[in-house]
Amino acid sequence: MDAHLNEPLTVFRRAFLDFNIDVIADVTDKMLAVGISTRQFLDTCTPLMGQIGEKFEKGEYFLPQLVMAGEMFKTASTRIKSAMPDDASGDPIAEIVLGTPRGDIHDLGKDIFAVLAEASGFAVHNLGVDVPPATFIERLSETGASILGLSSLLTTTFEAIEEIIRLLEQKGMRNNIHVILGGGATEQSLVEKLGVDSQTRDAYEGLNILKALTGDQAKGAVA
């Protein structure tokens, strides 16, 4: 790391770990002023997300800390991307198509997962809520994503999830796509019953599934 970056980066790290969200925009501008690159920013952020994620996993931190970390990351990365739109951040570790299937309009867990995954180097195509099964398939085809994340707080999505799996099979895509089911209405037995590959009830555990899938490439939030 260049020496002139040390001070603003130290201030950024301290603010981030203190959850001092009010100063993040200013500190990010100072990093930009001394010439930080997108890659250097991500290499700074991901270990910080990792430290917070680790404490969440140990039960020392809870959802508010994860949310704050996600919001601070979003604030900083949006500023950096808008200041340097052409600066390469490198290829994503993997691409994920994500959404709440038809029958449910909850998006909180899904959106937290999206932010944490992006902060860890994944590209996330977030389709929103109440998404028809065919839309997931179209987006997977367009992007070539290898991971599909389905969020569900209500059992009313189960029919749509089964339809998604059927469509993946019909299109010959099933073997190339890892399907993760997440949310409060889910339990492990649904892996077999709905034909998905993994299941989780919390966003951070979802990241650990990504880590297992992508091996050592995943960094930061994926502790």
Partner 1 sequence: MKSEKELYPDDTMTAQERFDAVVRLETPDRVPLSLMLYYYAPLHTGTPMSQYMTDPRAYRDVMHQVWEEIGPWDIYYNINPYSRLMYNYVMMMRELWPGIELEENAMAKIDEIQYMDTDDYDLAMKSYGLYADMIFRMRMLPRFSQEAEGKGLMKMAFTLFTHALRQCRFWRDDFKWWRKQGAVVQIGYQAEMPFDTFSQARNVINFSMDLFKQPEKIRQAADHLARNFADTAILSARLMGAPTVQCYCHRTSNSFISPQQFADLAFPSMEMIVNRIVDAGLTPILHCDGDWLRNLKTMRQLPAKKVIIQLDGLTDIFAAKQEIGDHMCIFGDVPAAKLATGTPSEVEEYCHRLIEEVGQDGGFILAGG
Cα of first residue to Cα of last residue in the chain, in angstroms, is 22
Which residues have CB under 8 Å from 10's CB, separation 6+?
none
CB of 155 vs partner 1, minimal distance in Å: 4
In the complex with partner 1, the residue whose CB is nearer, 32 or 112, is 112
Helical packing angle, 6-17 and 21-33, nearest 10°? 160
Q: Which residues bind partner 1 (CB under 8 A)?
A: 19, 21-22, 59, 61-64, 67-68, 71, 104-108, 154-156, 158, 184-187, 189-190, 193-194, 201-202
CB of 142 vs partner 1, minimal distance in Å: 28
In the complex with partner 1, the residue whose CB is nearer, 7 or 187, is 187
In the complex with partner 1, the residue whose CB is nearer, 34 or 134, is 134
Q: DSSP string spanning 89-139?
A: ----S-EEEEEPBTT----HHHHHHHHHHHHTT-EEEE--SSB-HHHHHHH
CB of 24 vs partner 1, minimal distance in Å: 12
In the complex with partner 1, the residue whose CB is nearer, 21 or 84, is 21
